[in-house]
């Protein structure tokens, strides 16, 4: 075969490659040229029957043919693949600026809802929201709060400890209450201070009313001339707004917390309605009773001093309340464990609309 014939075959095959518009057409051209019975393969086979002179003349031409065909197929394949990807991306494009045609799914968990409601209620009274770490050291969680190492309250807290200490040699733990946020706030902010601190807390405890992780909200006020009257008014105002009823009656019982002095446990009056505890009414009336709701007190002078403030100048009150418990009382769940099961039916039943934001003016739970 003449060199010019081989060039003609090459031109023909390259045209076919150029015309192949998809992967299977390219593969067909490849088989026809380079396959076992392909035209280029047949030419390569003729080399074996040639004289050495002929082979020296034709060999490079035939090998060049195979190489140019192979390269052309690879290039065409890459171009076709790129075009196919381009077309698929264009077909699957999503315009994020179009309005949604589906209502949002999912719901706001009652714990989140209640935290939002509480933030709204307390914002109206001038409280800011503060946060602190869930992995704490024992100084912030205990020592600074006037709970020394040997204090029985440390054992009472069923603390989850980490195996290693931090760089300062302090034992690390999962915070057992939100009270360490009191310390962190007093150490970084100048009074007057008015904060609430909602968040997760951890204790090694589990039954229908206790889970190893639960939620608290801490309140802290530090200012000049603060007394228990301010505490009682704040709690009454908060609980009336939260439960959305005016007949909330509180009872302050003397109690003990190392970080408050004096301390008071706060009970709220409730009645049974349709087999449920409904908060409201005076606990002294027939059919009513008292339920323990939160811990509180005047911030202990030693705690104020531990944070570098002068307790002769600054006084304050603090309180801590279980968010999950507040949610159960208002929205009627009776098993705390269900809060953390992630059961979609429970969430659909007790969850809140993702777009309804609690506001005092609109009714905080509406
Ligand atoms: N930290 C206490 C607890 O978890 C609650 C509390 C907070 C009591 C603030 C008094 C003042 O039980």
**Candidates 144, 145, 146, 177: which one to mutate for ligand 1, based on the most atoms within 8 Å of Cβ?**
177
What number does the ligand 1 atom closest to the CA of 182 have? 9
Nearest-CA residue for atom 8 of ligand 1: 295
Task: Please tell me the least confidently modeled range out of 86-100, 153-167, 245-259.
Answer: 153-167
Ligand 1 center–CA 294 separation, angstroms: 8
Share of the chain above pLDDT 70, in %: 96
Q: What pLDDT score does 355 carry?
A: 75
Confidence of residue 262 (pLDDT cuts 50, 70, 90): very high
Question: Considering only CA atoms, which residue is closest to atom 2 of ligand 1?
Answer: 320
- CB-based contact 152:220 (threshold 8 Å): no
Residue nearest to atom 10 of ligand 1 (CA): 296
How does residue 208 score in pLDDT terms, banded at 50, 70 and 90? confident
* Minimum-distance ligand 1 atom for the alpha carbon of 321: 5
pLDDT of residue 359: 77
Q: SS3 of 129, please?
A: strand
pLDDT digits (tens, 9 = 90+) for 105-145: 788 999 999 999 999 999 999 999 999 999 999 999 999 99
Cβ contact 154:115 at 8 Å: no
pLDDT of residue 148 exceeding 90: no
3-state helix, strand, coil in the chain (%, to 5): 45, 25, 30
Spacing, Cα 164 to ligand 1 middle (Å): 27
pLDDT reported for residue 174? 95
Ligand 1 pocket, residues with Cβ under 6 angstroms? 177, 179, 218, 257, 260, 295-297, 318-320
Report the separation in Å between the CA atom of 40 and the middle of ligand 1, taken as the mean of its atom positions.
87
336, 119 Cβ separation under 8 angstroms: no
Edge-to-edge strands of the sheet including 135-137? 135-137, 171-174, 161-165
pLDDT digits (tens, 9 = 90+) for 85-116: 999 999 999 888 988 887 767 889 999 999 99
Residue in this structure with the two tokens 């360490």, named with its chain if needed: 180
| pTM (predicted TM-score) | 0.71
How would residue 156 be classed by pLDDT, with cut points 50, 70 and 90? low
pLDDT tens-place string over residues 53-80: 988 988 899 999 999 999 999 999 999 9
pLDDT at 113: 93
* Residue found by looking up tokens 């150029």 in the block: 18
Low-confidence winner among 20-24, 44-48, 205-209 (lowest mean pLDDT): 205-209
Q: Which residues contact 193 (CB under 8 A, 6 or more apart)?
A: 185, 186, 220, 221, 222, 223, 316
Among 235, 257, 292, the mutation site with the greatest number of ligand 1 atoms within 8 A of its Cβ is 257
Mean pLDDT is lowest, of 137-141, 155-159, 212-216, for 155-159
Assigned architecture for domain 110-346: 2-Layer Sandwich (3.30)
Q: How confident is the model at residue 366 (pLDDT cuts 50, 70, 90)?
A: low
CA–CA gap between residue 3 and residue 61 (Å, rounded) = 7
Nearest atom in ligand 1 to 201's CA: 4
- Output DSSP code: residue 359: B
State what percent of residues in the chain have pLDDT above 90.
Answer: 67
Name the closest-CA residue to atom 4, ligand 1: 177
- Mutational test site, ligand 1, from 152, 153, 295, max ligand atoms within 8 Å of CB: 295
**Residue 205, pLDDT score:** 80
Residue for token digits 């506001």? Answer: 359
pLDDT tens string 275-313: 777 888 765 555 568 888 999 999 999 999 999 999 999
Cα(37) to ligand 1 centroid in Å equals 87
């Amino acid at each position: 075969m003449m060199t010019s014939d081989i060039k003609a075959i090459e031109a023909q095959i390259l045209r076919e490659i150029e015309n192949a518009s998809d992967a299977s057409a390219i593969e067909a051209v490849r088989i026809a040229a380079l396959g076992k019975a392909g035209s280029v393969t047949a030419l390569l086979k003729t080399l074996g029957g040639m004289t050495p002179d002929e082979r020296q003349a034709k060999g490079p031409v035939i090998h060049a043919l195979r190489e140019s065909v192979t390269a052309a197929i690879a290039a065409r394949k890459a171009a076709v693949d790129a075009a196919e990807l381009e077309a698929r991306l264009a077909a699957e494009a999503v315009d994020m600026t179009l309005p949604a045609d589906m209502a949002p799914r999912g719901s706001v968990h009652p714990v989140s809802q209640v935290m939002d409601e509480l933030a709204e209620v307390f914002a109206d009274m001038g409280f800011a929201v503060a946060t602190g770490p869930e992995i704490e050291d024992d100084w912030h969680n205990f020592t600074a709060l006037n709970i020394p190492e040997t204090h029985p309250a440390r054992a009472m807290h069923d603390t989850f400890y980490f195996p290693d200490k931090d760089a300062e040699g302090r034992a690390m733990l999962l915070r057992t209450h939100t009270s360490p946020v009191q310390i962190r706030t007093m150490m970084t902010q100048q009074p007057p201070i008015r904060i609430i601190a909602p968040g997760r807390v951890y204790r090694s405890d589990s039954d229908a009313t206790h889970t190893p992780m639960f939620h608290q909200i801490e309140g802290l006020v530090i200012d000049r001339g603060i007394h228990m009257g301010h505490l009682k008014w704040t709690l009454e105002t908060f609980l009336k707004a939260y439960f959305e009823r005016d007949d909330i009656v509180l009872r302050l019982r003397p109690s003990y917390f190392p970080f408050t002095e004096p301390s008071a446990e706060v009970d709220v009056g409730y009645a049974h309605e349709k087999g449920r505890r409904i908060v409201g009414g005076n606990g002294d009336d027939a059919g009513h009773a008292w339920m323990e709701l939160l811990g509180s007190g005047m911030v202990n002078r030693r705690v104020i001093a531990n944070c570098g403030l002068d307790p002769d100048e600054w006084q304050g009150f603090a309180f801590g309340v279980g968010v999950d418990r507040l949610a159960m009382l208002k929205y009627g769940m009776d098993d705390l464990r269900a809060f953390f099961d992630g059961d979609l039916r429970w969430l659909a039943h007790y969850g809140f609309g993702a777009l309804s934001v609690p506001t005092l003016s609109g009714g905080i739970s509406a």
